[in-house]
Amino acid sequence: MKAAVTPSPILRVLRLAAVPVFAVATFLSATGVPSVPPSKVTPPADNPADAKPDANTTAPKIIIPPATSTATTSTSTTAAAARPPTAASLAVAPMRTQETQWFSIAADETSALAFVAEIARETELCFGRELRWERPAATPRIEAVLTRPAHANWLGHSRIEVNRDTGRVTLRLRWADGLRVSEVEEALARALLVAAAKTLRPRDAAAPPGWLVAALAFETQLTRASALMDHQIRLARKTPPPTLAALTAPAGDFPDTLRAPAFWFWRHLRREFAAENRPMREAIAALVCGEPLEKLLAREFPEMMRDPDRRAVWWPAGYTVLTRESEALVQTPAESHEYLENALRFVFATGVDDELCPPWRLPALHGLSAAREAANLRRRTLLRDIWRANPVWHNAWVASGRFLEKFCDDSTDPAELVRSWETAAAEIETARKISTEIRQLLGEK
């Protein structure tokens, strides 16, 4: 491990600003600052004064540019903020299209088209990653149309239509200022579930349950924001799961508070089907076409559902296993601090009782082969997990690993070993000060 020493805390803070975006976002989400999907969610306006600020960071909104008339070039209006409609803006602009595996998306703005197409691809990825469910060649693509408010003659932000003769599914999105990203994700997820179910049950009416739509949409959101996944893992470990009755009961708009539990249940259900080597496509089609979850579980897992004790713990136990075995990508500063403290805390047998040995006492034990072997295990653990270290504590991890590396070498000069620990101790103290300053800036204790 290579040592990396930064001259001062000020330079540390400056260097922190240059770390990868996902690492900083992870730190912010884990320390209480809500995560927001990437900046492409809200395209910048040509004129900053025209842009509308979005205060709802947990449910980002899309600023929709007005439709362009045929006489107006798209370059000047693509990123413009929403304005009151005019006769020119209400004119129907030429529609552009883009195809994905399951969708054919139409919009009058290139930026909007690219944005929705990207979410559509990520939705398809989450849906097909384990199910291996590709669109049959004979099945027409879902027609997703981004419709301006002046031409949207329905209630709500989206509407799904199914052509009984051709089987084509059409998704109409009310492309208006204030549309939330989560609403786009849910509309695409709902349309994809309907189209997929129709490939197996073409004659049945399709209406996906709210929890299933929310689960697929939330998984898509987590795929697009790794820092949010870290936050959800930590949150799930502190929050008990809702009952299946509570998860499947909501009618109408699915509550935001149940979106994350729906995602964990969706993962749990997929794992249970995989463990039993059961195909899941028909089960999903049955759910989308109206079969109650309890009935489906009784058919697919009859032994478990007949046993009241097993049935009672099936979902809570699965939730606990999933959230405990999932590893956050990047640690919070507090987690990195605790991890390093544990890595540098040794217990050796000295005489009758075991004795706790702090790292600054290690140089005195350099001659003991057992101490060097124990230190080598800790060094390898640090090396294995250093990619998860919070940026604030990265240098402290590196310097500590370098110290352990020198300690494991029986030819290291004792004075050099002491200097190596002093360097590591200085890095640890600097990281502790920066962590304290950040907590103070965030108003934390």
pLDDT at 183: 93
Q: Are 387 and 26 in contact (CB under 8 A)?
A: no
Hey, which residues does 355 pair with through a beta bridge? Answer: 348
| Residue 72 phi, psi (nearest 5) | -110, 135
430: helix, coil or strand? helix
Structural domains in the chain plus CATH codes:
61-79+92-325 (1.10.390), 332-441 (no CATH)
pLDDT at 317: 93
DSSP element (H, E) containing 171: strand 169-174
397: Cβ contacts below 8 Å, ≥ 6 apart:
336, 340, 382, 386, 389
Distance of alpha carbon 378 from alpha carbon 436, whole angstroms:
26
Among 89, 123, 293, residue whose Cα is nearest residue 194: 123
Q: Are 71 and 57 in contact (CB under 8 A)?
A: no
Q: Retrieve residue 330's tokens.
A: 């990047």
In degrees, rounded to 5, the angle at the alpha carbon of residue 118 between the alpha carbons of residues 114 and 120 is 115
**Helices and strands, number each (H, E), in the chain:** 16, 9
295: helix, coil or strand? helix
Hey, which residues does 99 pair with through a beta bridge? Answer: 104
Distance of alpha carbon 115 from alpha carbon 40, whole angstroms:
8
pLDDT at 167: 87
- From residue 385, alpha-carbon distances to 159, 331, 335, 380 in Å are 47, 10, 12, 9
pLDDT at 349: 67
Distance of alpha carbon 369 from alpha carbon 410, whole angstroms:
9
Q: Are 217 and 231 in contact (CB under 8 A)?
A: no
β-strand pairing of 142-147 with 169-174: parallel
Among 118, 144, 123, residue whose Cα is nearest residue 133: 123
β-strand pairing of 346-350 with 142-147: unpaired
Neighbour tally for 7: CB within 10 Å: 7
**DSSP H stretches of helix in 58-180:** 110-131
pLDDT at 19: 39
β-strand pairing of 346-350 with 353-357: antiparallel
Residues of the chain scoring pLDDT < 50 = 1-58, 65-91
| pTM of model > 0.85 | no
Distance of alpha carbon 100 from alpha carbon 115, whole angstroms:
12
| Cβ-based burial of 259 (10 A; exposed 0-12, middle 13-18, buried ≥19) | buried
Distance of alpha carbon 91 from alpha carbon 106, whole angstroms:
16
